[in-house]
Amino acid sequence: MAASQIYCACGSRLVTTPCVSFTNNLIRVLTIASVRITFPVNINHQKQNLMKRLTITCLMLFAIHSAFAQSMLNKQLADWERAKTYTKEYLDAMPEDGYAYKPTPEIRSFAEQMDHIADANYAFISGASGKKSPMTSSAEKMPDQSKAAVTKVVMDSYDFVISSLKGMSDADMAKDVKIFNMDMKAGTAFEKAFEHQTHHRGQATVYIRMKGIKPPQEKLF
């Protein structure tokens, strides 16, 4: 058989080989043509797969972020509920006659320390959540500083924090707010309020000790 000259689709000579079967050359041409036809299809298929993978990855990242944010909100909620229980133990531990007690004349009494926690809880959280504080004046200025009155106002302040936190979303916690003329995120305000009540409850330990009473057991968990 005479030398076969096979041309590819672009017109250039592909094979010029004497004594090579025409069938073999035809198979080669068809194979190349097949590749030329299917290669764009494969590219499109790869792009589709890549987009699918990117979409799935983004959805997974969003789900992880949402779950993490929700778990952080749940953790804060659990911490505040624990703090409320712990503070109640302090209020219960101090006897009625100890509420007016001051270790030194120039500092707050035990009742005023607890009132101060309530005032700060309302101030921080009303600013962070946008909810109006039910307190129209300072707890420290209440005429009634009895054990029952102080216990109620303090527990009510923790309820205000907890109910406000339950109504917060991840987006809410990321909002910019102004607390005591300072700019911060709403989530930071909740954290600072928690730190504040921990500090003043800790100060009250000394008051209870000086009244000859054993303070409540530490409640870290």
Residue type, 198: T
Determine contact, residues 84/165, Cβ cutoff 8 Å: no
CATH topology of domain 71-210: Four Helix Bundle (Hemerythrin (Met), subunit A) (1.20.120)
Q: Can you give the pTM of this predicted structure?
A: 0.70
Query: How do strand 182-185 and strand 4-7 relate by DSSP bridges?
Result: unpaired
Among candidates 193, 196, 125, which has minimal Cα distance to 165? 125
In DSSP terms, which residues pair with 183 in a beta bridge?
Answer: 178
Burial class, 157, CB count within 10 angstroms (exposed 0-12 / middle 13-18 / buried 19+) = buried
Per-residue pLDDT in tens (0 to 9) along the chain, 221 residues: 444 343 343 444 433 434 345 445 544 544 554 444 444 556 666 767 767 666 666 555 554 444 445 578 999 999 999 999 999 999 999 999 999 999 999 999 999 999 999 999 999 999 999 999 999 999 999 999 999 999 999 999 999 999 999 999 999 999 999 999 999 999 999 999 999 999 999 999 999 999 999 999 998 88
Q: Render pLDDT for 101-145 as a digit per residue (tens, 0 to 9).
A: 999 999 999 999 999 999 999 999 999 999 999 999 999 999 999
d(C-alpha 77, C-alpha 75), whole Å: 5
Determine contact, residues 165/80, Cβ cutoff 8 Å: yes
Q: Where are the CATH 1.20.120.450 domain residues in the chain?
A: 71-210
The tokens for 193 are: 């309020």
d(C-alpha 33, C-alpha 50), whole Å: 26
